[in-house]
Chains A and B, each alone.
Chain A
Amino acid sequence: MTALIALFWRDLRRAWGSGALWLPVLFFLLVATAFPFAVGPDAPLLRRAGGGMVWVAALLAALLPIDRLVKPDKDAGVLDQLAVRGFADEVIAAVKIGAHAIGFGLPLMVALFPAAALLAQDSGRVEILATGIAIAVPALASLAVLSAALTANHKGGSAVGGLLILPLAVPMLIFGAGMLDPSGRGAVKLLAATSLLLTVIGPFAAGAALRGLRE
């Protein structure tokens, strides 16, 4: 357990210590800032479309850190050293997913509030958005680590990773944005179920991908 905690803190330190943390958060805020420029200062339109835009921005921001989740550890021999010590690839993947969910999810949640304000979202909608994104973050982290593991042997892996993540994340986008619809009361349950499914499958799929990197 001590070893897994050490691995978790190492991943978190690398996420927060390198400055790479701010890249997806800034990207998220920039997208939220750019949207009103594109559609004009029409508050009712921004209020109506802004919630969906927040979700799209969150998904795109989740793609940015893919390059640094697995490839640096593979190139530096860290994954081999962990395997030699008998750590199951699934456990390593689960730790990486946990660290990424915290390392990426927390700042994203903080950035959500100014982004929602820029998109004219009232407090009720901000609350719904925050709940939805908090539910989706573990699944987004799971998909990000899976994509990172699948593409760690390829140049330009993040571009390929984006193509992998986006289709798998579409159900969360639909249910998450659906939570903002007054008639979409079941959306939160569907979002939670989708997120749970992806979060549970993620470590096994990413673990298999990590194992494949050694062959």
Chain B
Amino acid sequence: MTRLLRLDDVACIRGDRLLFEGLSLALNRGDALWLRGPNGTGKSSLIRLAAGLLRPAAGTIERRERVALIDEAAALDAELPLRRALDFWARVDTVDGHSVDRAMDEMALNNLAEVPVSMLSTGQRKRAAMVRVIASGAPIWLLDEPANGMDDAAQARLVAAIARHRANGGAVLLASHFAIGVPNLAELDMGALA
């Protein structure tokens, strides 16, 4: 069982507020952990800590593989057609266009390939961000509210993509204030840590 991500005795302070301390967790290949709890309990901060975007106030974080992140911003150039916006990240991740094709197929976005990102709905942008994550080939997925704005069909595709990723040896850290139906999911109630 290969460990991909480990947080050891981590504390997080935002502003002057201690969000949590003494938090330890580990994700091995095939694992998925749901961070649940109400707003303001540190779900997004924990995702950003795991991504290396924030420094922990205490403790250590170890990432043994590449990371892919979804947060509230899609990170896609609004003025470009969707496919071209995704191709930029494919070049940054040095993956070929077929990876983007497959990921767009997975999230049912092929018919929107030529539509400018600025014209996409919130749910479609979330699906596009998932395409970026899937196409990156990163083994560790950090998903912050990935289902926001998605309809039932899109959520089902998201759940299927997570299941495929785990089956292929990836790990998922998922922050969501509502259940999105991912099976065999470990849970961490962030509200209980506050």
- Which residues on A are within 8 Å of B, measured CB to CB? 2-3, 6-7, 10, 14, 17-18, 75-78, 80-85, 214-215
Contact = CB atoms under 8 A, between A and B. Distances in A.
Interface string B117-151: 00000000000000000000000000000000000
B156 interface: no
Contacts of B21: none
B45 to A, nearest CB: 12
Contact of B78 (A76, A82, A85): A76
Contacts, number: 53
Residue among A18, A78, A214, A215 with the most chain B CB within 10 A?
A78
B88 to A, nearest CB: 6
Contacts of B69: 80-81, 84
A52 B72 CA distance: 48
B71 A77 contact: yes
Contacts of A75: 73
Contact of B91 (A6, A76, A83): A6
Contacts of B46: none
Residue among A3, A14, A76, A81 with the most chain B CB within 10 A?
A81
Contact of A81 (B55, B66, B78, B89): B89
Given A77-B71, A80-B71, A84-B68, A3 B76 contact: no
Contacts of B75: 76-78, 80-81
A53 B186 CA distance: 67
